[in-house]
Amino acid sequence: IDSVMHAMGIILQLDVNNEQLDIILQAMLEKDSPYAIEGLEYILKKYKINLKQRQKIKDKLKVLKEKYPDFKNDIIIKNSKINDSYISFVDGNSNFSLILSRKISDASYDAIFLTLNIELGIVACMGFGNITKTNYVTIVNRLFPDCLPVKIHPIALKAFYDYYIVKNEKSGFDLPYELIVWSKLLADIDSINYNFSDFINSKLDSLNLTEDKVKKFISSKTTESWYFTYNQNKITDDLIDKIENEHIIEYEKIEELTLLYTNKLIKDDEFMKEITQRLRIQAYISKLANHKMSSRICYSLCFENEYFKMFLKALIDKSIYQYLLDKRNDLSLQDNVFKKTKKSSFSK
C-alpha cells in the first residue's frame, strides 16, 4: 500500500484529469498510509476541489499526522547516505549545474543532475538509479568535459535548489517532470532558514578594482563563455544588425557604437538584474573553487563603478567577434558540398 500511495503522489504532480484525480483521492482517503500525506497536501495546494472534498482531506491529514508524527517520505533515500555534491561555473547563457549523489547500502549509487538558469529557474533534470561508482564517475566526467565541477556542501546545494524552484513559479517555466522523482534525493537535507541572497553575500568579499585586474579577469577561464549569442539580447542584436547591414568595418566606428550600446545595456534594468546576479553566483562558486581573486573581482563588479562598464564592453566585443566567427564558419561549411551544413548557434 505504501508503494502505491507514493506512486500516486508522483502521478499527481503530472497534472491528472478530473477522473484520475477522483480515483487517486478516493484511494488516499480510504487507505491508512503515511505516504498519502504528501499527495493529499499537494491536492490541497494545486487542484481545484469542492469544499466538501477539501474538508475530507484536512480531516484525513489530521488523522495521519497524529498517527505518524515523525514520518518522512524516505522511500528513495532509505538505506542510503549522501556521497558527494557539486556545482558548476555559470556559462554565457546564465546556466549552471548541481549534482548530488547518494551511496546505497549495496554499494551502488543514486544521483540527480540539475541545470539551473538564473532567470528561469530549474530548466533540466536527470536522475540515475542503482549505478556503479565507475558509471557515476564516467557520467560526471562526460557532463563536465572541460572542467571539474566544484564541491559544494549539501546544505548550500539545497539552498540553491529551494531558491531556484521558486524562480520557476515566477518565470512560468515548467519544471522538468523528472524532478518529481529525483528531487526526493534531497529530502533529508536541511534548508537554510534565512534569505538566499544574504546567504550568498555573507560568503563574499570585495576589493579595490584596477584596470589590470579587470583585464586579467575578462581574459580568464571564469568568463570564457560569457558573450551574447544572437537572439539572446535585443540590444546586442541591434548592434550586430547595424554593423552588418551598414557594412561597418572601421575600428573607430565600431568602438564608438560599442560604447553607445554598452550604455544602453546599463540602462536596461532587467539586464542589469540578471548580469549582477550572474556575477554574484559566479563569485560564490569561484570562492568554493578557491579562486579567491576571481571571486573578489566578480563580487566587486556587482557594484556600480567604472570597471563594470569596461567589463560589459568586453563582453559585447566578444559577442561581435563570436558572431562573425560563427558566420564565417557557416559560410565555409556551405561552400563545401561534401560537408553537412551546420546551423549557427546564433540562429534560433
| Predicted confidence (pLDDT) per residue in 16-58, tens digit | 888 889 999 999 998 888 888 888 888 888 888 889 989 999 9
Please name which of 170, 171, 178 lies closest in space to residue 115, comparing C-alpha atoms.
178
Q: What is the pLDDT of residue 335?
A: 54
101-138 in b/e form (b: 16+ CB < 10 A) is: bbbbeeebbbbbbbbbbbbbbbbebbbbeebeeeebee
What does the pLDDT read at residue 250?
92
Least confident interval from 122-136, 157-171, 189-203, 322-336: 322-336
Contact 196, 159 (CB under 8 A): yes
Look at the alpha carbons of 309, 310, 312, 316 in this order and tell me if their dihedral is positive or negative: positive
Cβ neighbours, 10 Å, residue 59: 11
Check residue 190 and report its DSSP letter. Answer: P
pLDDT level of residue 342 (50, 70, 90 thresholds): very low
For 158, 224, 315, the CA distances from 187, given in Å and listed in that order, are: 9, 35, 40
pLDDT digit string (tens) for 128-138? 988 999 999 99
Q: Cα dihedral angle (90, 299, 223, 293), rounded to 10 degrees?
A: -120
Output DSSP code: residue 221.
Answer: G
Q: Give the residue from 320, 110, 344, 338 showing the smallest Cα distance to 227.
A: 320
